[in-house]
Structure 1
Amino acid sequence: MFRNRERTQPGVKQSKRSGPATSTPTTESYPFRLNFYDTPPRHEVTLEDFETCALDRLRVLAEIESSFARNRSWEELKTVTDAQCKKYLPLNSNTALTVNLEEQRRNDHIGHFVLRLAFCRSEELRRRFVKAETTLFRVRYDADSPTDRSAFLERQRFDWEKAIPDERDRFAKELTALEKPVTSDSKNWSTEYHKVPWIRVPDLVAKRRVFLSGGYAYVSSHEVSSFVFNEFERKLQLALEYTAKMLPRLDEDTRLIPILNNLSQGFLAGVPSDWVNPSATGDEIRADMVDGLARKHFPMCMRNMQECLVRDRHLKHFGRLQYGLFLKVLGLSIDEAIAFWKKSLSTIADDRFNKEYRYNIRHSYGLEGKRANYPAKSCQQILTSDKPGVGDCHGCPYRHFSPENLQTGLLAVYSSQGLTANDLHEVMRTVKEGHYHVACTRVFEITHASRGVKKGEGIGGGDSVVHPNQYAARSIELEKSQREDAMAVES
């Protein structure tokens, strides 16, 4: 099923894909935009497609989970999900004529089954995956055309029966009581009912939206979507449990296990995009600018390290690595970086600095050793690797600080930017639920409200924070835009 294919940069989505290079299923394999994913891919899949399709889908699912954590309304969630789908997981209806529907649906199919492998490993991961996938299915179901949706439902082997005329006559009074007009001024009542086992529509039973008789629920045509969503959720849950039993067979596959391990962390801090910003300010950053930028634009993790560095005149190895790569991507040149660290580590003698620290700084810039151009660490990497110990200042404050220290730290750092004690309840709730990047995103919204950022907008377009440099770059961009607007008004 899988084969290697050379690629330029592992894990990075290329701007264009020419499509499958091996045998592919016929168009009949994907007749509809909606999919219950009953059949796994039976064609050959390259490792590149295996990873890329899964990452694209995970970006959408992670933003759906983020929407739940941020208490977005259903309409807001649909808007954000549609935007994410257009960016990472486009899936057009059958009426689209100018796109490759076969490739879109193939990628959607592959991504779903790869994520099954990644998220079947624990009950908690399965629960979160099922909730996000069911929500994505609902969004697509609502957006699908009535014709395509009806054709899709006709092809499914649901254990329901259409109510025959005799039944409708026998229960006419009860069924009429359930009837609702299509619109407030319409006299067209629904005329079709489906008989389904009542345990398949518990939400409708609880709301008294169905008639019960003989163990069956009579569901009207404009309530049948509830049954469809419950069936999707039920089947996916069973499929994940079965996949979990089969997963140990993959343990010896060194190609797939590292990919799956990485994907399973996707709900923890969002999915890092291929975000690159060689200079967030548009100009080279000087060493003496760092402290001022930290006070105005850095996320909590980086601002905490800057304060520790100023206070202690020292950072341990992983702190220097995490902070140094952040400053590098922010726009600090190698010469300015050496000047910054030499000044910051002022208690260290010049000879020792040159022997023990200068080499590591140059190495992180790709000027020593194997000369690799190391990227800054994403939120996911900060959360999952190099856990801070006693005396360390690196890591994610939202995860690694105690609740008391986090609240005190947030107020001390951000109170001058608009964060109040009343805001902490919402932030700490998301921290308690394990949505650390959502908490960071909410702090960004609060502290940048004076620059036009509204609740729910996140880092821009509804996106959550997934990278410290993304946070800083967006903050600097907003300040620059505000300054330019002010100058335009004055002129």
Structure 2
Amino acid sequence: MFKSTERKPFQQQDTAIYQASTSSHLQYPHRLNFYDKPPLFDVTIEEFETCALERLRVLAEIESSAARNRTWEESKTAIRAQAEKHLVLKQNSAKYDDLDGQRRKDHLSHFVLRLAFCRSEDLRRRFVKAESTLFKVRYEDDILTDREAFLNSRNFNTIPVLPDEKKKYESQLYSLYYGKNETERKAAFEREKYFKVKWTRVPDLVEKRRVFLNRGWAYVPSQEQSSIIFGEYENQLEKALELTARLLPRLDEDTRLIPILNNLSQGFIAGSSSEWMGENGEGTCGEEIRAEMIDDMSKRHFPMCMKTLHDRLQRDNHLKHFGRLQYGLFLKVLGLSIEEAVAFWRKSFSRITDDKFNKEYRYNIRHSYGLEGKRANYPAKNCLQIMAPGSGEYGCPYKTYNPDNLQSALLSTYSHQGLKAADLPDIMQLVNANSFHTACTRVFEITHSSCGVKKGDGVNGEHVTHPNQYAAHSRELYKATKGAAESEDVAMGP
């Protein structure tokens, strides 16, 4: 499968013919990509940011899967689902898809995120790990003909082991080969082809004792060739990121790109940024939210950050400016009208007079709804903004609370929804790994198990990136579960 001076076997000749007939017209002939060349085409600022955010969602799912200790098969399923939503990349056999358009987006998004994540050793390490995992998933999913055509298009600097050399080390090579019985092992060994590489290129195979070592060379069977390919991919990407980091200062004066790159790198830390507005820009689940419903909804549907703000408001009958802004925008996007918002805040600020409320607070409430000032439609804050440095007392509890306080708060907040002390080690493991959004997602799964949510399901297949995403889906699940129960009661009759 590797590029060499030897004549290709008939199977590989067929592969080359297939590739020529199906992808010769494509600018990007292969689905797999080592991203050797930067994109050399014009893009708008909007496309620059949008395609990178879409790829960021897929990489965030990869990190989330690792934090959850999912099996490789579970991880692949989750990654495929996210890629199907945000980073579609069909095979050459998909005749009715815009293959070049998909691969152009994949190419551009990879290089934009390189710019964002080359800035520190930690970001580079995480980016390489996530991108390598994405490449592995695509490699395993690729059909054999497309994969072989890609491999034959590159030189991986391997040395084919000739028949005489294979015969010379037959006993050593054969001892590493496994099969169901002796006859099958011998037949498979006879068909197997080997390549020589320096052992430092395949440390994982050396560790697993899957290769024969001789004078610094590792004899790699073709069935283990993916280790060479993945190692080469990681090595090239690491070098490219280091080079990009050295060149990045040239962009410092570009006021258009630097804010976008800063946001993307912070988004990777937070699990991808999101300006979630729900279906059709609303989070109402088809019903009007009234001021008197908020307290009950907070107990049933709110993520911990918003539940904390609500409880503090009810306890003190007051919130400071940034707390009011954060909680007020959350309620607005949840579906609370301006009239109901004024009623809710007036009731909550019960210790002040009507005159003081009207003079000092009513204007700010109307302003957040776009009815005063510059009349902008302000979005609710997402997890990235809530977790940002300096968010202080209105930040993410999973990030800002010490371990003992967090565990006590989790039990007091969610024990009525099924969270138990036995669940805490799983959650705290994620918190200790700084996977705060994944910890919040795990709490959602536990507290909504009665609605059919299982570990790994997340919030509609994704991890939490926005408080309104959490609350809206919680309400949807509750409404669906309640509707199903009522239908069952009607069917059973009196």
Same fold (TM over 0.5): yes
Among 156, 159, 162, which residue is 1:158 paired with? 156
8 Å Cα contact 2:291-2:341 kept in structure 1? yes
Query: Partner of 1:327 in structure 2?
Result: 331
Return the letter of the residue paired with 1:215. Answer: G
1:130 Cα deviation from its structure 2 partner: 0.6
Superposition pairs for residues 19-168 of structure 1, below 5 Å? 29-168=27-166
Name the count of aligned residue pairs: 461
Query: Partner of 1:215 in structure 2?
Result: 216
Q: Is it true that 1:448 corresponds to 2:448 in the alignment? A: yes
8 Å Cα contact 1:280-1:472 kept in structure 2? no
Return the letter of the residue paired with 1:33. Answer: R
Cα distance in 1 between the residues matched to 2:480 and 2:79: 27
1:293 Cα deviation from its structure 2 partner: 0.4
Unpaired segments ≥5 residues, structure 2: 1-23
Superposition pairs for residues 267-416 of structure 1, below 5 Å? 267-273=268-274, 275-277=276-278, 278-384=282-388, 386-388=390-392, 392=393, 394-416=394-416
8 Å Cα contact 1:325-1:364 kept in structure 2? yes
Q: Identify, as 1 or 2, the structure richer in helix.
A: 2
Query: Partner of 1:471 in structure 2?
Result: 470
1:71 Cα deviation from its structure 2 partner: 1.0
Cα distance in 2 between the residues matched to 1:159 and 1:321: 59
Cα distance in 2 between the residues matched to 1:385 and 1:321: 17
1:330 Cα deviation from its structure 2 partner: 0.8
SS at match of 2:94: coil
1:377 Cα deviation from its structure 2 partner: 0.8
8 Å Cα contact 1:397-1:406 kept in structure 2? yes
Identify if the C-alpha distance between structure 1 residues 219 and 243 changes in structure 2 by more than 3 Å, giving closer, same or farther.
Answer: same
Deviations 1:202-228 (A, max 9, x none): 000011100111211110010010111
Cα distance in 2 between the residues matched to 1:177 and 1:82: 37
SS at match of 1:384: coil
Cα distance in 1 between the residues matched to 2:68 and 2:307: 24
8 Å Cα contact 2:274-2:382 kept in structure 1? no
Cα distance in 1 between the residues matched to 2:31 and 2:132: 15
Query: Partner of 2:479 in structure 1?
Result: 480
Deviations 1:182-241 (A, max 9, x none): 999954344211111110000000111001112111100100101111111111111111
1:173 Cα deviation from its structure 2 partner: 1.3
Cα distance in 2 between the residues matched to 1:125 and 1:268: 9
8 Å Cα contact 1:211-1:217 kept in structure 2? yes
SS at match of 2:157: coil
SS at match of 1:212: strand
Cα distance in 2 between the residues matched to 1:208 and 1:375: 55
Identify if the C-alpha distance between structure 1 residues 184 and 332 changes in structure 2 by more than 3 Å, giving closer, same or farther.
Answer: farther
Return the letter of the residue paired with 2:123. Answer: L
Identify if the C-alpha distance between structure 1 residues 184 and 486 changes in structure 2 by more than 3 Å, giving closer, same or farther.
Answer: farther
1:46 Cα deviation from its structure 2 partner: 2.2
8 Å Cα contact 2:283-2:468 kept in structure 1? no
Return the letter of the residue paired with 1:240. Answer: L
Return the letter of the residue paired with 1:244. Answer: A
1:31 Cα deviation from its structure 2 partner: 1.4
SS at match of 2:175: helix
8 Å Cα contact 1:182-1:188 kept in structure 2? no
1:456 Cα deviation from its structure 2 partner: 0.6
8 Å Cα contact 1:313-1:346 kept in structure 2? yes
Cα distance in 1 between the residues matched to 2:49 and 2:285: 33
Q: Is it true that 1:179 corresponds to 2:177 in the alignment? A: yes
8 Å Cα contact 1:196-1:217 kept in structure 2? yes
8 Å Cα contact 2:161-2:193 kept in structure 1? yes
Query: Partner of 2:4 in structure 1?
Result: none
Query: Partner of 2:430 in structure 1?
Result: 430
The worse-fitting range, judged by mean Cα deviation, of 119-128 and 277-286 is 277-286
1:451 Cα deviation from its structure 2 partner: 1.4
8 Å Cα contact 1:288-1:340 kept in structure 2? yes
1:53 Cα deviation from its structure 2 partner: 1.4
Return the letter of the residue paired with 2:104. Answer: R
8 Å Cα contact 1:163-1:195 kept in structure 2? yes
Cα distance in 2 between the residues matched to 1:169 and 1:176: 10
The worse-fitting range, judged by mean Cα deviation, of 337-346 and 176-185 is 176-185
Query: Partner of 2:226 in structure 1?
Result: 225
Identify if the C-alpha distance between structure 1 residues 172 and 185 changes in structure 2 by more than 3 Å, giving closer, same or farther.
Answer: closer
The worse-fitting range, judged by mean Cα deviation, of 248-257 and 344-353 is 344-353
- For normalisation by structure 2, the TM-score amounts to 0.91
SS at match of 2:325: helix
The worse-fitting range, judged by mean Cα deviation, of 177-186 and 443-452 is 177-186
8 Å Cα contact 1:115-1:263 kept in structure 2? yes
Query: Partner of 1:13 in structure 2?
Result: none
Cα distance in 1 between the residues matched to 2:438 and 2:258: 28
Identity of aligned residues (%): 60
Query: Partner of 1:239 in structure 2?
Result: 240
8 Å Cα contact 1:330-1:473 kept in structure 2? yes
Unpaired segments ≥5 residues, structure 1: 1-25
